[in-house]
Structure 1
């Protein structure tokens, strides 16, 4: 079960929204001003219509009615133009703000420690970066400006009714209390319901992504039924959470529709009584009723977008939640005094499990080539993650130059230690783009030298050389070529310590050996820690460390360990198909 990334608290979401508004404060102020002017222009029409009614009732001239009618047309046109420009300004504000949200999300995602992403799963991060960011963008671009306009219009309309007569204004507000109760009931339940829906969507995305990426493994081990069952459970969880939000909407919207009629009826009844007693003109009663009827449109807009606002609020909480994720050390740590790596009394356990490393002690001297060998599950990869600063030990220390590796900030750490695993990635772009990620200032000569160092002769045969596009629509490197690109990036990064965790696993034996020798030549004078099942790597190493059951059981040169006749000697003879040496 993966642990999902954090969710921001409502206060954090409000603070983030306020920060985004401050970053584009002038546009937001212009948006408010334009909406206020548009709302003010819209109030003139019902008031002037009331004047027409009073004029006709009093037997006024036709010319007066015509002039008032023309004024209604002018103010209606002014409202149309102001509202249109307000929406234009609002949409531009929304697009700029959305760009900031996207850029901030990418920056935060790239700053996440690898261990956090692994525990949370890529599905959660993917769902937040796609569906949730899209929902926030829709709100900023569409729902936000629309709701803001509607809120300003609603306040102006209610104010106009109170100006006509405070009693009619009170009747209108009292009639709207049904909407307030329905809205309060909805909002109390909506946030948690939409957060649950988002979490269910993330879990489903994680299961589908994991199943698709491991399709061959699923087929090889006959796990199809299990994966289908897990997918169905995730889909059912999505259905339940979505049904819950649908139920909230099915109760909320009908209650609102009924509540629209009540204030208009109340104003007509109260206004009719006042008119009968000569306390109010017929035109004022009609104007008040029209105002409240006019109130339906902005309220409808607000309530129509309430669902989107609740959904996007939950999405914003998930997007902003990345800010609550623990980061690697941000303070500048003291620089390591040398390149020596020390592991002392290290114990480590993954979440919810027992120790997988038990009191490991190891010193890696600068410039040494150390091979870590052992059966699967012995703890080699876990130790490499601690050495590379991906994880921190639960007890004990892992230091480089007497500084704890976990205390180094990412940039500082990568200048000292780089971990290369059998997992690799080819980025969309050219060969040059894929290499410059590691060294933006590298020249073409340096790029060619890095490719040559890892035996990537195929790169020189591409039709456009370094400018050949890779990926969809371009050249598709196979597994070994993609791994060579990854190793070339390491050569360009030029760290003093390189950890190879089965880094040549996808290369054929001849290419793998050639690549490892090329790397050894390029990285001469640097520390190389190689973790592999191919024992020719151990044969070429200065020392060999043997791990069994999370413990370091043997340490020495290849010849010494073979002569000792222990676990390493057994592995070596087994790898060569030789019978074990006689005791």
Structure 2
């Protein structure tokens, strides 16, 4: 049963937001000051226009034309200043947004890279893909553009209200009171929108997972005729997404309607109230003109507020899922960085993916340094799980997997770097990332020199084609670059193993997904990597077992036989039965 990754609560998201503000307080202060100056220049224009109205409607004398011309110059200067300050503020805000988004993305990727594999497998592919894809995209626009736009909206609203009060205390209530009617609608919207967007993001993650898993396992889906079943699962997920999207859309419609009324209300109220006050001689026509223009200016930020309130809720829901990745508790506590170079030892190990359902039962296994051990057994017997125990992927439910003399050190107590020097798991899956060939290789060891990279490629037989690339090690490979063949991709994966230089290798059918011609070449590369190391091969083909020094037979989560191929055949037990069945097939 899949368990989703945790979702951070509002307090955790606010703490993360405060951290970001503190880290970038200098840049945020600069953007705020510039946008405040731009807002002051903007609200200054209606004030000057109101003065012009009072000037032309009042007593005209010889100096009126000169004063009017001076006010026109002031209006032009304010408009130019507003444009320049707005442009400068927008540029600085975009730069700030890019930096903040880059930090968020790198921190998320760093957290995801160090997630316990057991947690990732339990959560499923879609949840993590959704957080690193759709959730980041939801935040992107708010961080990159929203910083500037939200500051402009807030500062514009505050300066307009303040300027209206200063211009005419009698007229300002007509501008402010209609704005206050927006608050109940916004409060109602926020109460329901945040849970809706969180649910919607989680459902989209489920859709992404269904699509990704179906595409990745397309051959299996076709072979077993699972297409209709996968389509039903996708249809059910899409129906849930559609229902949630409809609910969120209804919430937005209510909010937009309320904000629309709020943006028109001040204009109508100011004109009506101003006409009544002017009729009683309480305010001048210039004051009415100024505050009316302020009311018109309010319409733009209030209208934009609709979009940004909605975007903030989407981004807030996404942020809670992204911060949630950082809240995953480690499944181990690293206490040692000692590298012994000796093979792992299994002592009384049991393991359960689900509580109370052990797939390994009290397994003991002592590896001989430098040997090749084949682990065989029926499908579902626990072979691959044992391999993961030996590679330190999962901590055992009970018992210990250790390295070193005496009581040894638990594999799960080693730091990542020490663990990688002790043992590495090579599986059927390998990936070429969209970056240079050198960067692909340095995933295994970041401090590796070009000479060491070339040596690793030489060991696995990849040096010739690597030298033939247009830019050598700096050639972009993967998506958007040179597409490597399956055999070349496997060699890149094996070259990473050479750079890691582990003392023990656990192989889980590392070449079984390749076609026969490529597999033969990859197996030659693999043989070069295995030289001088202790090797545990999870064997799904028994010809691998026949070539091994010893064979461990796993049945129902227990090692029931252990010894050389010939001895086990002669004993006529479980291994002999498996061998006869395999030979007859």
Is 1:151 matched with 2:144?
no
Q: RMSD of the TM alignment (CA)? A: 3.0
Compute the displacement of 1:90 (Å): 1.2
TM-score (norm 1): 0.90
Residue in structure 2 matched with residue 138 of structure 1 by the alignment: 141
5 Å-filtered alignment, 1:433-582, equals 434-439=440-445, 450-451=456-457, 453-454=459-460, 459=465, 470-471=477-478, 476-506=483-513, 523-577=530-584
Change (3 A) 1:542 1:27: same
5 Å-filtered alignment, 1:69-468, equals 69-327=72-330, 329=332, 331-333=334-336, 335=338, 339-351=342-354, 354-401=357-404, 402-428=408-434, 434-439=440-445, 450-451=456-457, 453-454=459-460, 459=465
Measure the CA separation in 2 of the matches of 1:485 and 1:243.
47
Compute the displacement of 1:487 (Å): 2.6
Residues matched between the structures, number: 578
Contact 1:334–1:403 (CA<8 Å) still a contact in 2? no
Query: Is the partner of 1:533 in helix, strand or coil?
Result: coil
Measure the CA separation in 1 of the matches of 2:461 and 2:284.
94
Contact 2:362–2:558 (CA<8 Å) still a contact in 1? yes
Residue in structure 1 matched with residue 46 of structure 2 by the alignment: 46
Change (3 A) 1:514 1:238: closer
Measure the CA separation in 1 of the matches of 2:96 and 2:120.
32
Measure the CA separation in 1 of the matches of 2:329 and 2:53.
67
Measure the CA separation in 2 of the matches of 1:432 and 1:351.
40
Change (3 A) 1:510 1:541: farther
Measure the CA separation in 1 of the matches of 2:480 and 2:47.
64
Measure the CA separation in 2 of the matches of 1:272 and 1:461.
83
User: Which one is further off, 442-451 or 421-430?
Assistant: 442-451
Measure the CA separation in 1 of the matches of 2:395 and 2:206.
27
Residue in structure 2 matched with residue 58 of structure 1 by the alignment: 58
User: Which one is further off, 237-246 or 558-567?
Assistant: 558-567
Measure the CA separation in 2 of the matches of 1:342 and 1:134.
45
Measure the CA separation in 2 of the matches of 1:303 and 1:465.
50
Is 1:12 matched with 2:12?
yes
Change (3 A) 1:126 1:562: same
Contact 2:553–2:560 (CA<8 Å) still a contact in 1? yes
Measure the CA separation in 1 of the matches of 2:243 and 2:4.
19
Measure the CA separation in 2 of the matches of 1:430 and 1:271.
68
Contact 1:191–1:314 (CA<8 Å) still a contact in 2? yes
Compute the displacement of 1:416 (Å): 0.7
Contact 2:6–2:327 (CA<8 Å) still a contact in 1? yes
User: Which one is further off, 504-513 or 251-260?
Assistant: 504-513
Query: Is the partner of 2:6 in helix, strand or coil?
Result: coil
Measure the CA separation in 1 of the matches of 2:143 and 2:203.
24
Change (3 A) 1:85 1:500: same
Contact 1:329–1:408 (CA<8 Å) still a contact in 2? no
Measure the CA separation in 1 of the matches of 2:480 and 2:265.
62
Contact 1:90–1:145 (CA<8 Å) still a contact in 2? yes
Measure the CA separation in 2 of the matches of 1:141 and 1:444.
37
Compute the displacement of 1:225 (Å): 1.0
Measure the CA separation in 1 of the matches of 2:137 and 2:486.
34
Query: Is the partner of 2:366 in helix, strand or coil?
Result: strand
Task: Name structure 1 gaps, 5 residues minimum.
Answer: 579-583
Query: Is the partner of 1:5 in helix, strand or coil?
Result: coil
Map Cα deviations across residues 557-581 of structure 1 (whole Å, 9 max, x no partner).
3233222211012223333349xxx
Query: Is the partner of 1:350 in helix, strand or coil?
Result: strand
Contact 1:430–1:466 (CA<8 Å) still a contact in 2? no
Measure the CA separation in 1 of the matches of 2:427 and 2:22.
44
Measure the CA separation in 1 of the matches of 2:424 and 2:506.
6
User: Which one is further off, 379-388 or 427-436?
Assistant: 427-436
Compute the displacement of 1:325 (Å): 2.1
Change (3 A) 1:182 1:115: same
Compute the displacement of 1:450 (Å): 4.4
Change (3 A) 1:545 1:465: farther
Measure the CA separation in 2 of the matches of 1:407 and 1:273.
80
Measure the CA separation in 1 of the matches of 2:523 and 2:210.
36
Map Cα deviations across residues 379-433 of structure 1 (whole Å, 9 max, x no partner).
0101111221221222222222222222222222111110001112233456555
Contact 1:336–1:403 (CA<8 Å) still a contact in 2? no
Query: Is the partner of 2:562 in helix, strand or coil?
Result: strand
Measure the CA separation in 1 of the matches of 2:3 and 2:415.
24
Map Cα deviations across residues 479-535 of structure 1 (whole Å, 9 max, x no partner).
444334323332332101111111232467798688668756754553211111233
TM-score (norm 2): 0.90
Contact 1:175–1:262 (CA<8 Å) still a contact in 2? yes
Measure the CA separation in 1 of the matches of 2:81 and 2:480.
52
Compute the displacement of 1:258 (Å): 1.4
Contact 1:151–1:302 (CA<8 Å) still a contact in 2? no
Change (3 A) 1:23 1:416: same
Measure the CA separation in 2 of the matches of 1:496 and 1:505.
23
User: Which one is further off, 493-502 or 129-138?
Assistant: 129-138
Compute the displacement of 1:253 (Å): 0.6
Contact 1:371–1:543 (CA<8 Å) still a contact in 2? yes
User: Which one is further off, 486-495 or 304-313?
Assistant: 486-495
Change (3 A) 1:383 1:506: same
Compute the displacement of 1:40 (Å): 1.0
Measure the CA separation in 2 of the matches of 1:108 and 1:440.
18
